[in-house]
Structure 1
C-alpha cells in the first residue's frame, strides 16, 4: 500500500450537512474545519479505512460458530449468546441494540461513497479522468457494502421470490434529509450490478492503494455477486476476467516451513507476521473485518478446526491448540492485518471451480480447486483431488472455500445459499455442557434482525423488520 491515513467521520458529516443546506452558507467554514473541494480532499475519504473500508459481521460469524467465543462474552451480550448457542426460542429483536455495527458502519460508508459520487464531478485540481476514476471507485465500494447488508439483514437471493421479498433501505444521496426506500432483494441486486457496470469503464488497472478499486476488483466482485444469484455463466466469465488480471496465490506451505520451528515448539504461542495484509499477493481489494487494524485473528473452536483438511498449512501456521483452565481452543498465532472485507484470488479460483462443476466440467473444476490446495496443503499430505459427479465436486470445493473465507461475509452468504438447495443443505451441530445443539437450514436465525435504532428512527423513509424474532 503506497500511502494510508485516516479522516474522521465528522469531516464527512460536516460536508454532507453544508452541501444539503442553503447555498448562502456554502462559503461559511466553521473554525478548524475544512470543506473538501479538490480531488485530493475527496480522495482522502476513500482512504478512511476505519469508517469506509470496514465490514463488521460479528453476529453472522457467531451464528456459524466459526470462532471461539468465551463464556464471559456470552454472559455480557444476550444477542451474541442467542446466535452462538442457536437459541431459536428467544427473540433477538429486542436485544439487537447491542450489535448495530454492521448496519451503521455499512450505511456510514455508503453515505461517504454517495457523497463522492455526487460531488467529485465538480472537484478542482483534477483531470476529468481522475474525477471519473474516483467516482467509479466509490460506486464499487458502495456496492460492496450493500452486498454485505443485503446478505446480513435480508433473506438469501432466490430468483423465484427475490422480487417480492424486502431487503434493506436503498440510499443514493449523501444529503441528510434525502428520502429512501426499502427495496426488494431483486432491486438491491440489480442496483449492485448496475454500480459495477457503471464503474468498470473508468476503473484503472492499478489503484493508488489496495483500498482503491481496480478493473480486476470489479470483475472479482461481479463474480461473487453472480454466484450468489446462481447465475453461473456470468459468474464464470467474471472470474476468468479477474484471474486474467491477477491469478497469483500465496504459498502457505512455504510460509509454514519458514516458521516451522516456532510453530511446532511446545508451549510457545508466537506472533508470526500476517501475510494477509495490504501486500498479500492474492489481494484484488482490501477491506478490514470486524475490527479495523486488528492485530490478530479470532481464535477457532476445536470442532470448527476439524473441518480443515489434514495437512492444511494455512491453518497450522495461523492457529495452535491451547488449554487455559477449562477452555480449549485454537489460539491465533499471527499478528498484523487481515483482508476479511475485501476480495482475493483464492475466492475467485473457487468461484470458478464451482461454476465449472455446475456445468459438469469436473476436470476443470478440480484443476481450479487443486490450484488453491497445492498452495495450502503440505506436500506430505497433498493429493490432487478428483470428483465422480457434480455433487462430489461441489462438496470438495465447498470445504476449501469455507476455510478460505473464514470470518468473511462470503462464508455466511455461501452457507445460506447452499441451505436453499436440498442437495447441499446442512444442519450444524455441536455439544455444549453435554447437550447436543443444532441449527437447521430453515432456521429463522439465518437472517439478522435490523437494529431497533434503525426501526425506531428510519430517517426520511420506512423500514420493515425482516424477521419475526
Structure 2
C-alpha cells in the first residue's frame, strides 16, 4: 500500500510542477515545490481518468449484469467464480491481479485527501472559493469510501455495524499516513460527517459536472441513508435533490428519432450515447471501469428478459446478436456513460421506495410512473398500480435495477434487501446445461480484498471480511 501511495503522490505533484518525485519529497519541508494556488488543487478534480474511475466489475459479474464470454470464463478464474456463483471457489487466492477497484478508489481518495488538507490555505482565492473546493473534495471522498465499504465489507446492519470490520480509513495524502481498518459503523459515520460538513459550501451550479454540486450532496445523502434503512432521511434528501434537478431524459424521443437504425436487425451501427457529461439527469459525473470514449458492456439474454416490454432505454442500448456459438445482446451506444456518479432518476426511485415503505402506495406508484413515462414507448405504456407495499416495492426495484444497470447501486440494493430479509434477492440460471444459483445469504455478496492489499497494507493492518 505504501508504494501505491508513493506513486500516487508523485503523479499528482509531477502533473502540476513537472519536477521529479524524489525532488518533491526532498523539498517538502521547504515548501518550495508544493502546489499552492486554488487552481493547482482544483485541477486535480478535473483529472477524470485517475480520480473519477469507478470499477465495480466483479459486482456486475456476480449480478450477471454484464455478458461474459466463454473465453473470458475459461481464463479468468475470479470472474468465473462470481459469474457462475461458485461457492467452493477461494476468491481470496484467485484475487491476485484484480486490484483496479481497490487501488483506483484509494488513488482517488489520496487526491481528495490532498485537496482537503490544503484547500483552505490555497493562494489566489477567497474563502468562499476555498470552502467550495474543500467541500467538493469531501463529497467525492465520501462517495469513494461508500463504494469501497459496499464492495469489500458486509452491508450495513445497525445491530452489527459497530462490531464488524469494514475497510481502511485513510484521511491524509502523506505516504506514511495511518491506515486503520475501522468498523462498518465508523465508516458510515465518517461518510455522513464528510457530507454534512460539505453541504453548506456546495454550489447550486458547479464548475463542471465532475465537481459535485448541491444536488449531488443531497442525492448522495439519500443513497447513504437508504443503504442504512433510514427511509425518513433518505426521502427528505431525495426530495431536496429533486428540488435542485428533477429533469428526466426522454428515452422514447431518442428511440423515435433513431428507430430506423434501432429496429434494423442487421445494423449494429453505434449511436452516440446521451448519458455522458451533458446528460440532463446528471448531478455529478464519474466514469465506470473504463474512463474513455467507449461502448457499454454487452448483456445476456437472461438479463435482457428482465426489462419491461417497450422499454426505449433498453431498446436503444442493446440489440440481440450471435457470434459463433454465443448469442447475447450487443451494446449499440458509444461515448461516455455516467456509471459512477449520481443522476436524478436514482433520486426519484429512492423517493418512490421510501414512500412505499411509509405506506403511501399510490404516491409511490405515481413517482415510479413519472419515470416510466419517459422510458416506455407510448404503445406499450400503462400506469403500474400496486395493491400493497410488497407489490409497490417490487415494481420500484425492478425499474431501479434496470435504470441503474452497470452501476454499483443494484449490488448495494441487493445486499441491503438480503440483510433486511423481507425482499431477498437470489438468482438461478442454466448455463451450458448446468444449473447454478446464488442464495441471498451467500458469502459471495462480499468481495475479498486483493492480495496486493493484504500483503502490503501500508501503515496499518488489513483483515479479510469474507472467508473465501
Please name the residue that 2:449 is paired with: 450
Counterparts of 1:282 and 1:293, CA distance in 2? 20
In the alignment, which residue of structure 1 is the partner of 2:11? 11
Give the secondary structure class of the aligned counterpart of 2:11.
helix
Q: Identify if the C-alpha distance between structure 1 residues 250 and 460 changes in structure 2 by more than 3 Å, giving closer, same or farther.
A: same
Compare 74-83 and 438-447 and name the one that shifted more. Answer: 74-83
Q: CA deviation at 1:37?
A: 1.4
CA displacement 1:426-449 (0-9 Å, x = unmatched): 320111111110000111100000
Aligned residues: 456
Do the aligned residues in 1 keep the contact of 2:13 with 2:24 (CA within 8 Å)?
no
Contact 1:167 1:183 in 2 (8 A): yes
| 1: CA distance, partners of 2:242 / 2:83 | 36
Going from structure 1 to structure 2, the CA distance change for 1:115 and 1:149 (only over 3 Å counts) comes to same
In structure 1, list runs of 5 or more residues that go unmatched: 1-7, 30-34
Indicate the SS of the match to 2:60. Answer: helix
Say whether the 8 Å CA contact 1:366–1:387 is kept in structure 2: yes
Structure 2 counterpart of 1:278: 277
Task: Report deviation, 1:97.
Answer: 2.0
Deviation of 1:73 (Å): 1.4
Q: Does 1:26 align with 2:31?
A: yes
- Distance in 1, matches of 2:49 and 2:212, equals 17
Report the Cα offset of residue 411 of structure 1: 1.1
Q: Does 1:424 align with 2:429?
A: no
The aligned runs of 1:235-384 (5 Å cut-off) are: 235-384=234-383
C-alpha distance in 2 between matches for 1:22 and 1:319: 53
Which residue is 2:156 aligned to? 157
Q: 1:113 to 1:277 in 2, by over 3 A?
A: same
Does the aligned pair in 2 maintain the 1:19–1:175 contact within 8 Å? no
Residue 199 (structure 1) aligned with residue 198 (structure 2): yes
In the other structure, the counterpart of 1:43 is 42
Instruction: Give the distance between the partners of 2:314 and 2:464, measured in 1 at CA.
Output: 38
Alignment of structure 1 residues 64-213 onto 2, 5 Å: 64-213=63-212
1:234 match: 233
CA contact (8 A) 2:287 2:337 kept: yes
Which stretch shifts more, 232-241 or 290-299?
A: 290-299
Q: CA deviation at 1:420?
A: 1.8
Contact kept in structure 1, 2:9 and 2:173, CA below 8 Å: no
Q: Secondary structure at the match of 2:420?
A: coil
**1:23–1:347 Cα change, 3 Å:** closer
Cα offset, 1:135, TM superposition: 0.3
Tell me if structure 2 keeps the 8 A contact 1:419–1:441: yes
Q: Distance in 1 between matches of 2:211 and 2:441?
A: 38
**Conserved in 2, the CA contact under 8 Å of 1:111 and 1:174?**
yes
Whole-Å separation in 1 of the counterparts to 2:272 and 2:305 = 24
Taking the aligned partners of 1:11 and 1:306, their CA distance within structure 2 comes to: 45
Kept in 2, the 8 Å contact 1:9–1:51? The answer is no
Deviations, residues 96-129 of structure 1 (Å, cap 9, x unaligned): 1221111000100000000000011121111111
Q: In structure 1, the residue corresponding to 2:157 is in which secondary structure?
A: coil
Aligned-residue offset at 1:36? 1.5
Counterpart residue number, 2:5: none
Shift of 1:24: 4.2
- For the Cα contact (< 8 Å) 1:262–1:270, is it kept in 2? yes
1:303-349 C-alpha deviation (Å, 9 max, x unpaired):
00000011100000000000111100000011110000000000110
**TM-score, structure 2 length as denominator?**
0.95
Q: Secondary structure at the match of 1:420?
A: helix
Q: Which position in structure 1 is the counterpart of 2:384?
A: 385
Task: Determine helix, strand or coil for the equivalent of 1:320.
Answer: strand
Q: Distance in 2 between matches of 1:279 and 1:101?
A: 27
Q: Partner of 2:395 in structure 1? A: 396
CA distance in structure 2 between the partners assigned to 1:20 and 1:410 by the alignment: 39
Instruction: Provide TM-score, normalisation by structure 1.
Output: 0.95
Query: Structure 1 residues 9 and 320, CA, compared in 2 at 3 Å: closer, same or farther?
Result: farther
For residues 206 and 20 of structure 1, what CA distance do their matches in structure 2 show?
37
1:221 alignment partner in structure 2: 220
1:19–1:184 CA distance, 2 compared to 1 (3 A): farther
Residues 236 and 351, structure 1, Cα contact 8 Å, conserved in 2: yes
Tell me how far 1:180 sits from its aligned partner. Answer: 2.1
What value does the CA root-mean-square deviation take over the aligned residues?
Answer: 1.5
Work out whether residues 139 and 217 of structure 2, in 8 Å CA contact, stay in contact via their aligned partners in 1: yes
SS of alignment partner, residue 317 of structure 1? helix
Q: Find the aligned partners of 1:182 and 1:43 in 2 and give their Cα distance.
A: 29
The match for 2:52 is 53
Tell me how far apart the structure 1 counterparts of residues 260 and 321 of structure 2 sit (CA, whole Å).
Answer: 17
Contact 1:20/1:175 (<8 A) preserved = no
CA distances 1:336-363 after superposition (whole Å, capped 9, x unpaired): 1000000000011000000000000001
